[in-house]
Amino acid sequence: MKYFVVALLSLIIVAVISLPFAGIGLLLGHNPYIWGLSAVAGQFIIGGLWNTLTNKILRNKIRQTELLEEIERSSKYVILNCAYCSVNNEASIILNQDNKFTCKNCKQRNKVDINYVVSRTTEPVLQNNVIKEIIDKVEKDEDGREK
């Protein structure tokens, strides 16, 4: 319903804009219908081009926004020492890109190399079964001593 109203309103606007063209055609002694219909056709062509252009711009903006959001999501802020002056800098790191940052102190460009380090997983002490067994045994011994 909303689109129907918009389309009707657009057609009325096209007709209202075309009327003066028909009048000009009439004043110049030409066929007013040809002038009016040419104005209608011209508005449809210009409208179509305008819609295509604005859609393309809008789509590009959406794509750009999505790309920026994706970069924001995949980036990680780390504190890194400048390779020139050793001052701490907060740098944004993205895994699938060459990462560089400009030092806030000496304004030199730094390149960030990412190294991967593997380590063993660790459990909290109280969840470790060996420690639990020892604690249980000690508690049992203490209970036994009390009795």
Question: Which residues are at the interface with Zn ion (CB under 5 A)?
Answer: 82, 84-85, 103, 105-106
Nearest approach, Cβ of residue 71 and Zn ion (Å)? 24
In angstroms, the CA 130 to CA 136 distance is: 10
Closest CB to Zn ion among 63 and 109?
109
Closest CB to Zn ion among 33 and 84?
84
> 47: Cβ–Cβ under 8 A, 6 or more apart, which residues?
10
Radius of gyration of the chain from Cα atoms?
Answer: 37
Closest CB to Zn ion among 67 and 106?
106
Closest CB to Zn ion among 51 and 88?
88
Residue 81 vs residues 68, 89, 94: alpha-carbon distances, Å: 26, 6, 17
Nearest approach, Cβ of residue 56 and Zn ion (Å)? 43
Nearest approach, Cβ of residue 103 and Zn ion (Å)? 3
Nearest approach, Cβ of residue 117 and Zn ion (Å)? 25
Q: Pick the closest to residue 90 from 80, 98, 82 (CA basis).
A: 80
